[in-house]
């Protein structure tokens, strides 16, 4: 069947294996007909990291196994979604330690991508809250991994993009909360320098994220709205609203052009916003605003889109972001979904994305001229010591990947030792020379 990930680019003709249990996953792995194969959850990575000749679907292996009200430790199958965890445990006063921009991600996918959120600067990435995981190796053996047990394999599997085997289950720490609401403060920044200063001034804020106008120029370059968030303490715990609208079909890509995006960005930046006092809103509205629009990826047209997400280390982050935004704005290829976040220190995972600095994510509809622009941005990122996020990548070159991720050889050595290099290969890993 034909598969694509959230960006709808590229499209792959893949044979799928669907399983309902860990035993069935073992049979699927042993029954592969050869070529490349990769595990796939809900397909919410953006590019080709969950595409291959053969795809092992894990989303139906979604059982909860154990939970401790005393410690907040949850043991569950890798196919459990973040949405399911939040719906089950938030009304009981527990929240995930790290969430990305959508709740429709499996635990296995969150580990494989080592997802980060609006709180990375204080709480790190998802895998830093994983105390143990169970991994199905290409040989059929199931091994237990943690920081202290099979640690080399643990650090290769966390952020490993599924290239060490199939994650079967995990134990993670939930966070105690006293409200299902978030208290949000909004700050308006006139340019990039101002929003950087605001991030630094509010470094102790639990959550922070900025929407950024990537088409603004000159003295308005990087103008932003910064959203700061804290868990409310009103002892009101309830299920969240789940109403959505849906985009029924792929819209004509011509609708997204420099003029429509400039109009949208200007209207969004100048929308009436209370910047003098905090407001209270449902947690889902703060963390997952786009989840209220089902199939929003169809807005980019039939050919889909690519998300470009980079991180730049602190010493040169401001200069690099200024160069990136100037290049994008001059090309007129801006995105109306541009997000800036502050990240904390990196971790021990071999292919983990975050590093101490700032990350910028931008969406671009697929068209021939966009790829040369993104190649240009790659060089800016590389020259400033940054890297791109593998979970969002659909077109990075092998040369750039090996420059961005210098520990790739350690990863390949581990893959060869356990035989994963002969079985667990995605379109992405093949493209990147793993």
What are the φ/ψ torsions at residue 55 (nearest 5 degrees)? -125, 130
Q: What band does 226 get if pLDDT is binned at 50, 70 and 90?
A: very high
pLDDT score for 370: 95
In the block, residue with structure tokens 């961005």: 404
The answer to whether residue 261 scores a pLDDT higher than 90 is no
Which of 92-106, 267-281, 364-378, 407-421 bottoms out in mean pLDDT, i.e. has the lowest? 267-281
Confidence at residue 256, expressed as pLDDT on a 0 to 100 scale: 67
Mean pLDDT of 16-36: 83
Higher local confidence (pLDDT), 267 or 168: 168
Q: Which residue has the higher pLDDT, 276 or 203?
A: 203
Check whether 395 has a pLDDT greater than 70: yes
pLDDT above 70 covers a percentage of the chain that reads: 97
- CA pair distance 425, 111, nearest whole angstrom: 17
Average pLDDT of span 132-136? 98
With 90 as the cut, is the pLDDT of residue 31 above it? no
Residue-level pLDDT at 307: 96
CATH numeric code, 181-395: 3.30.70.2520
Nearest CA-CA partner of 238 in 278, 282, 290, 183: 282
Mean pLDDT, residues 207-231 taken together: 94
- Could you tell me which residue, 265 or 366, shows the higher pLDDT? 366
The two structure tokens encoding residue 273: 């916003």
Tokens 């085997």, residue?
165
Number of other CB atoms surrounding residue 367 within 10 Å: 15
| Residue 120 pLDDT greater than 80, yes or no | yes
The answer to whether 288 and 104 are in contact (CB under 8 A) is no
Summarize the confidence of residues 369-384 as an average pLDDT: 97
Q: How many CB atoms lie within 10 A of CB 45?
A: 29
What is the pLDDT, as a whole number, of residue 259?
67
- Structure-model confidence comparison of residues 274 and 256, the more confident one: 274
pLDDT at 220: 94
What local confidence, expressed as pLDDT, does residue 268 receive?
75
Report the pLDDT averaged over residues 389-405: 98
Report, as an integer, the average pLDDT of 365-382: 96
Query: Which residues is 55 bridged to in the sheet?
Result: 16, 38
The pLDDT value given to residue 13:
93
Q: For the segment 321-355, what is each residue's pLDDT rounded down to a tens digit?
A: 999 999 998 988 877 779 999 999 999 999 999 99
The residue-averaged pLDDT of 308-322 equals: 97
Is beta strand 293-294 parallel, antiparallel or unpaired with respect to 245-246?
parallel
Distance, first Cα to last Cα, the chain = 25
Q: What percentage of residues in the chain have a pLDDT greater than 90?
A: 80
CA distance 432 to 434: 6
Cα–Cα distance, 77 to 75 (Å, whole number)? 7
pLDDT band at 33 (very low <50, low <70, confident <90, very high): low
What is the structure's pLDDT at 300?
87
Residue 106 predicted with pLDDT over 90: yes
Q: Could you give the residue ranges of the DSSP H alpha helices within 202-338?
A: 258-269, 283-287, 317-331
Q: Does the pLDDT of residue 88 top 90, yes or no?
A: yes
What is the reported pLDDT for 30? 80
CA neighbours closer than 13 Å in the CB half-sphere of residue 100 = 22
Q: Is residue 116 within 8 Å of 101, Cβ to Cβ?
A: no
Q: Is 128 helix (H, G, I), strand (E, B) or coil?
A: helix
Using the predicted structure, report yes or no on whether residue 200 has a pLDDT greater than 80. yes
Q: Quick one: average pLDDT of 72-90? A: 97
Q: Are 325 and 219 in contact (CB under 8 A)?
A: no
Residue 130 has pLDDT above 70, yes or no: yes
Residue carrying structure tokens 């719906």: 87
Give the chain's count of helices (H) and strands (E): 13, 22
């Amino acid at each position: 069947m034909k598969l694509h990930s959230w960006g709808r680019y590229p499209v792959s003709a893949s044979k799928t294996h669907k399983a309902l249990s860990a035993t069935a996953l073992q049979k699927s792995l042993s029954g592969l007909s050869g070529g490349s194969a990769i595990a796939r959850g809900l397909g919410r990575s953006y590019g080709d990291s969950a595409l291959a000749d053969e795809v092992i679907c894990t989303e139906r292996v979604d059982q909860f196994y154990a939970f401790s009200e005393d410690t907040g430790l949850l043991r569950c199958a890798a196919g459990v979604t973040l949405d399911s965890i939040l719906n089950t445990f938030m009304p009981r006063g527990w929240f995930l330690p790290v969430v990305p921009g959508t709740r429709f991600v499996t635990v296995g996918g969150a580990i494989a991508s080592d997802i980060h959120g609006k709180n990375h600067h204080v709480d790190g990435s998802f895998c830093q809250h994983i105390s143990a995981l169970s991994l199905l190796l290409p040989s059929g053996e199931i091994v237990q991994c943690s920081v202290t047990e099979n640690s080399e394999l643990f650090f290769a599997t966390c952020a490993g993009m599924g290239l060490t085997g199939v994650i079967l289950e995990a134990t993670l720490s939930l966070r105690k909360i006293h409200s299902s609401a978030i208290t949000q403060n909004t700050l308006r920044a006139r340019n990039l320098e101002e929003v950087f200063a605001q991030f630094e001034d509010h470094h102790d804020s639990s959550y922070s994220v900025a929407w950024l106008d990537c088409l603004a120029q000159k003295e308005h370059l990087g103008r932003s709205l910064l959203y700061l968030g804290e868990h409310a303490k009103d002892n009101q715990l309830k299920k969240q609203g789940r109403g959505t609208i849906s985009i029924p079909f792929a819209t004509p890509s011509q609708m997204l052009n420099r003029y429509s995006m400039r109009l949208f960005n200007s209207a969004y930046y100048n929308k009436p916003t209370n910047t003098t006092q905090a407001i209270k809103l449902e947690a889902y509205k703060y963390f997952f605003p786009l989840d209220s629009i089902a199939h929003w990826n169809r807005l980019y047209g039939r050919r889909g889109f690519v998300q470009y997400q980079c991180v730049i280390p602190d010493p040169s982050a401001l200069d690099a972001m200024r160069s990136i935004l100037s290049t994008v704005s001059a090309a007129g290829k801006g995105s109306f979904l541009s997000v800036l976040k502050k990240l904390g220190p990196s971790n021990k995972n071999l292919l983990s994305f975050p590093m101490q600095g700032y990350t910028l994510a931008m969406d671009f509809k697929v068209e021939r001229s966009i790829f040369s622009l993104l190649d240009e941005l790659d060089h800016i990122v590389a020259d400033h010591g940054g890297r791109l996020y593998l979970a969002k990548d659909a077109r990075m070159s092998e040369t750039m990947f090996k420059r961005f991720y210098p520990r790739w050889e350690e990863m390949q050595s581990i893959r060869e030792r356990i035989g994963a290099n002969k079985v667990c290969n995605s379109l992405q890993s093949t493209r990147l020379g793993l």
